Each structure stands twice: as C-alpha cells, then as structure tokens.
Amino acid sequence: MQVSQLSLDYWGTDGYTRSTKELFAKAKELTQKGVHTYILTGSYAYPSNTLTSSVEDDIVFIDSILGVKLALSDHRSSHITEDELIHLASRITCQMSLYSWKTSKFNNSYG
C-alpha cells in the first residue's frame, strides 16, 4: 500500500474519546498536505455517531467517506441484532447504488 492510499479508519474511532468528526478533520488535514484519504463513518456503537444526520447522508454527501464502521463481536459493541444489521446494510446499499462512482473510485485506488 502506498502512503498516498492510506485509510484513516485504521486510526479508528470509538465514538466517545475519538469521534468521526476528529477523524474527518485529520483526513482533511492530510488531504491538504497531498495525502489522499478515505474514512469510514460510525463507531463501535449502533446507531452510529455521524457527521450529518445519518450514515447514508455521510456516505452520499461527503466524498471521503466510503462506508460505515460497526463493531459486531467486540466487547464494546452495541450487540446489534441481525434485523438491525440487515436494515442498515440495505439502507447503505440502496444509497450506494445511486452513487456508484464512489465504489469505482475506491476500487481504482485500491483494487
């Protein structure tokens, strides 16, 4: 992986001590320095903390956000139900199908 293809999600958020807002700010700072960045919205918790009003809005309206982070088996997770996970995945999939340029942009960078 080249440094210019760094994913800041590896630095992570837990939704309490490190927020999506702070992660996004760091991504913007690095982008201004010439390092192109992508991040994931959300945190360990469900419903996820977001920059906008929803996970879908974060993904659709913020170019550097490609998806959502969610803990499933971590002891800090919200123990999301199967139905909640299916519903979240369905909402995101519907939105991403409208904005397929994001997935092709990501695949071209990392594929």
Please list the pLDDT of the chain residue by residue as tens digits (111 residues).
444 445 444 455 566 677 888 889 988 998 899 888 888 888 878 888 889 988 888 988 888 888 888 888 877 788 889 999 999 888 887 766 666 555 565 555 555
68 with 51: CB under 8 angstroms?
Answer: no
- Under DSSP, the state recorded for 81 is -
pLDDT on residue 44: 79
Place of tokens 């440094």: 3
Is 68:59 a contact under the CB 8 Å cutoff?
Answer: yes
pTM greater than the 0.75 cutoff: no
Tell me which H or E stretch contains 85.
helix 82-98
What confidence tens digit (pLDDT) does each residue in 86-104 have?
Answer: 998 888 877 666 665 555 6
Cα–Cα distance measured from residue 54 to residue 8, given in angstroms and rounded to the nearest whole number = 20
